[in-house]
Amino acid sequence: MSEELIKFTELSNVPQILEANKLSVTNAKNAGLNLINKIDENGMTEEIDQECNNFLVKCKKTVEAINEKRKPITSILTAISKEFTSLEAELDPKRPESVYFKIQAYRNKHATEKLEMQRKKEEAAQLKRDKENEKIELREKIEVALSDFINNIMDKAFLELQGIFNSITLENINDNVKLIEAANVLLTDAMINELTFQIPTKYLIPEEKKAVKNEVFIHNIDKYKAMFKAEMTDFKKALIDRIPSKKTELEAIAKAEKDNAELAKQLQEAKEKREKAEKEKAEKEALERKEKAENEAKAKAEESKMQTLFEQTSETVSADGNTPERTGYNMVVTHPSAFMQIFALWFEHEGKNLGIDAIEKKTIKMMKTFCEKFAHTNDVKIESKLIKYEEIVKVRAKS
């Protein structure tokens, strides 16, 4: 135990000493007030000036006497206070030498590393999501491109057959019927291989893009071949079934041209009107097929994206629940000119609203501290190669 604490028993006479000092101060104040009243009534004279000098000398001696009586007591009290505060300091969270501070520093360092690992994990997961989404979007675009390409081949074949049918005359009817009957109804690989497209990607490399294309083709070609064959066969049959009525129509027009020009004109106009309507119907059906294929591809892509998001969300979820917390930023300045940028941010968000006196009291350190807090609370940082933001990461002790 320290010598000061051994003297703790000396504090027993504190009340008497305190009362004595109070009495000395009271007597001195009363004497001084009487002297002030005397000066106010009579003004200053040589005699009163001497009295003032004598009073001030006595005041000093009184203060010295009070101090001499007080010192032993206050020194003991100071020593006692120091004993208590030094004990507290050993566990003070804010003192670097305390075990609390050192252990917390270890936890904060671990938390920083943990947060960085979590960030890298999230970045990797995001990159994976971006690649998967781009793959889904690429697959959608290829499916639409393939669908459009096949439908264009089929529409062209329809138009050619419809043109052959529409160009039938009584003279070439047999030849044109043979052309319709001989028309190809198969979608060949050679026809499909004519499809070429360039779809730019950000994350997928050429090999991955090629794999997606092959996947789309494998899953769709048989379907399109079957569809092409069925549609072409049905269309051919529909045209062939109309040959008798077509022949009857042509014969009626030929007869009318000999016997009744007006009737011939009417029949010809009706024929042209019907052919126009058939063409418009074919174009409408082609557009509907295109829109249907695009909508199906889009719906399929959205479903795939949702599934991908669902599967990958769990990858970035922390399992221990002891999540590190960013409590602020420390700005590391690498060049003096960066302080101009610090001043600019501070002035824009605080300084311009202050008075001149308040601005004069601000230091660069205070401005830097403001910018650090502003980055933490508002997520606004100075974009500069001269300034680096270091995260201050802590984990809090829980009961």
**Cα separation of 151 and 158, whole Å?**
10
CA distance 302 to 133: 9
User: For residues 371 and 36, what is the distance between their CA atoms, to the nearest angstrom?
Assistant: 56
pLDDT of residue 254: 81
In this predicted structure, what is the pLDDT of residue 309?
58
Picking from 182, 178, 174, 181, the residue whose alpha carbon sits closest to that of residue 250 is 174
Q: Retrieve residue 353's tokens.
A: 């609203």
- Taking alpha carbons only, the member of 282, 291, 241, 276 closest to residue 155 is 282
Specify the pLDDT at position 179.
92
- 68-110: pLDDT as tens digits: 888 888 888 888 888 888 888 888 888 888 888 888 888 888 8
DSSP state of 12: G
DSSP state at residue 335 = S
Integer Cα distance of 249 and 230 in angstroms: 28
> CB pairs under 8 A, 24+ apart, for 306-315?
308/129, 308/132, 308/133, 308/136, 309/129, 312/125, 312/128, 312/129, 312/132, 315/121, 315/125
User: How many Cα atoms within 13 Å fall on the side-chain side of residue 306?
Assistant: 6
pTM of the model: 0.52
- Which residues of the chain register pLDDT less than 50? 1, 4-6, 316-319
Indicate the helix (H) or strand (E) that contains 327: strand 325-333
